Amino acid sequence: MDVGVGIVGYGLMAKAHTFGYRNASAFGSLAAKPKVVAMSGRNPVALAAAAALYGVPDTTSDWRTLLDRDDVDVIDICTPPGTHAEIAIAAAAAGKAVICEKPLAASFADALAATRAVEDSGVANAVGFNYRRLPALALLQRLIADGRIGRVLTWHATWYTDEFADPEIPFDWRFDLAMGASTFADLGSHLIDLALTQVGPVDAVSAQTQTTIAERSGQAVTVPESCSALLRFASGASGVIDLARNAVGRPCDFVVDVSGTEGSLRFDYARLNELWFSHIDDDPELYGPRRIRAEHTTHPYSANWWPIGQGVGYGSSFVNQVVAWFAEWPPKTWDPDFAQGTRVQAICDAMERSSLSDHWEQVPTFDLNPANKL
């Protein structure tokens, strides 16, 4: 059976999500085949061009019309972060399953409101933290969960891009905090999701930010280009996140380093099919990390892809998440869900507060029952 998907937005993430839907059935067993039936956007010319390119048969200038369509079962949100919560809440009220590209919202309050809406309506919901679907990162998580490096002591992650490096880039929504979300949320949310799944809850953070280009096109920039934070995990582990969007010549470079009582793991996105592993019992003559080619059929997500050595890439992560979500229909739950998106946003909220207070800040807890106070 086909499941109709309506995508809100038509940019890069809509392209990536459409790629996932179109190719999922070739790389996994699906209980139902998702099919993008319509796409919405405010620029009719750009929308029409994108729909033709992505193979989407119908378009609309008003995303609300997607909620009224009987052939749309899932609303997929691929718009700027500041719009996510409103669309998600409306989709939940219409009884549609909801998929939202990260971050779930531009603020913790909006993320919580969206999560309460989907919980109250009982609709399936998911956030697109696609990088956790890369085989090497999924293998890293599995090795930690299996105790292969013992108790985690430190978790460090960096992510450098050059998307804001050019001072001549004109002002757009990415430089507006209310619409584009903070760098912690927009770029760092992927890393925070990985931190939570690999190590566990974060109790407190200490953060700093830096804005080097304060104005673009005559408008004030409210999103710092770079930021970093110390993390205090509930387990006792310590962590560091370092983010920069003005790193010249660094298109999409992120690294995850994990050290434990019995070993260490390292992932580098520049070599995204590899994982480096060291263990305390390794032969001293062979001292040093070994390279794992995370493409074997025993590795997560690899069995249905190409033979070893052919590589699994960025687009594959979107296919893998669609396969995971549509393995059953109707779904009981999806993972990661809006609750996970809100956990991530709670940490972003604490980081943003810490960067202003210059102190450690506790990560807020939340209750999905609106009758209860936080």
Residues 150, 264: Cα–Cα separation, whole Å: 9
Is residue 343 situated within a structural domain? no
Residue 321 lies in a domain: no
The residue among 277, 311, 345 that closes a domain is 311
- Shared-domain flag, residues 119 and 202: no
Among candidate residues 291, 311, 331, the one where a domain is terminated = 311
Residue 366 — pLDDT band, cuts 50, 70, 90?
confident
Q: Per-residue pLDDT tens for 106-141?
A: 999 999 999 999 999 999 999 999 999 999 999 999
Report if residue 189 sits inside a domain.
Answer: yes
Residues 242 and 151 reside in one and the same domain? yes
pLDDT tens column, 80-100: 999 999 999 999 999 999 999
Residue 1: the pLDDT is 84
pLDDT tens, 217-263?
999 999 999 999 999 999 999 999 999 999 999 999 999 999 999 99
* One domain for residues 137 and 125: no
Residue 369 placed within a domain: no
Would you say residue 373 has pLDDT above 80?
Answer: no
As a residue count, the chain comes to 374
Query: Is the CB of residue 56 less than 8 Å from the CB of residue 46?
Result: no
- What's the CATH number where 108 sits? 3.40.50.720
Q: Which domain holds residue 65?
A: 2-130
What's phi and psi for 2, nearest 5 deg? -95, 145
165 in the same domain as 116 = no
Which residue, 14, 59, 5, 68, is CA-closest to 32? 5
Q: Is the pLDDT of residue 213 over 50?
A: yes
Which residue, of 258, 277, 311, is where some domain finishes? Answer: 311
Phi, psi of 343 (to 5 degrees): -60, -40
107 and 153 together in one domain:
no
Q: Is the peptide bond before 34 cis (omega within 30 degrees of 0)?
A: no
Instruction: Tell whether 83 and 216 lie within a shared domain.
Output: no
pLDDT at 372 over 60: no
Environment class of 56 (CB within 10 Å of its CB; exposed 0-12, middle 13-18, buried 19+): buried
DSSP per position, 170-223: PP-GGG-HHHH--HHHHTTHHHHHHHHHHT--EEEEEEEEE-S--EETTEE--S
- pLDDT tens across 146-199, in order? 999 999 999 999 999 999 999 999 999 999 999 999 999 999 999 999 999 999
- Please give the model's pTM, rounded to 2 decimal places: 0.96
pLDDT at position 370 is 58
Q: For residue 174, tell me if it sits in a domain.
A: yes
Whether 149 and 248 map to the same domain: the answer is yes
Overall number of domains in the chain: 2
Q: Are residues 217 and 204 in the same domain?
A: yes
Mean pLDDT of the chain: 96
pLDDT at 374 over 50: no
- Do 119 and 179 belong to one domain? no
pLDDT for 371:
54
Residue bearing tokens 């710092």: 224
DSSP H or E run through 89: helix 84-93
Q: Is residue 177 part of a domain?
A: yes
pLDDT band at 54, cuts 50/70/90?
A: very high
DSSP 300: T
3: DSSP letter: E
* pLDDT digits 0-9 by tens, 12-27: 999 999 999 999 999 9
Do 78 and 120 sit in the same domain of this protein? yes
pLDDT greater than 50 at residue 330: yes
* Confidence label for 368 from pLDDT (cuts 50, 70 and 90): confident
d(CA 115, CA 342): 7
Query: Within this chain, do residues 290 and 149 fall inside the same structural domain, yes or no?
Result: yes
Arithmetic mean of pLDDT, 204-225 = 97
Do 220 and 279 lie in one domain? The reply is yes
Beta strand extents in the chain (DSSP E only): 2-8, 33-40, 59-60, 74-77, 97-101, 125-128, 152-160, 202-210, 215-216, 219-220, 226-233, 238-244, 253-260, 263-268, 274-279, 290-293, 361-362
Q: What is the CATH number of the domain that holds 303?
A: 3.30.360.10
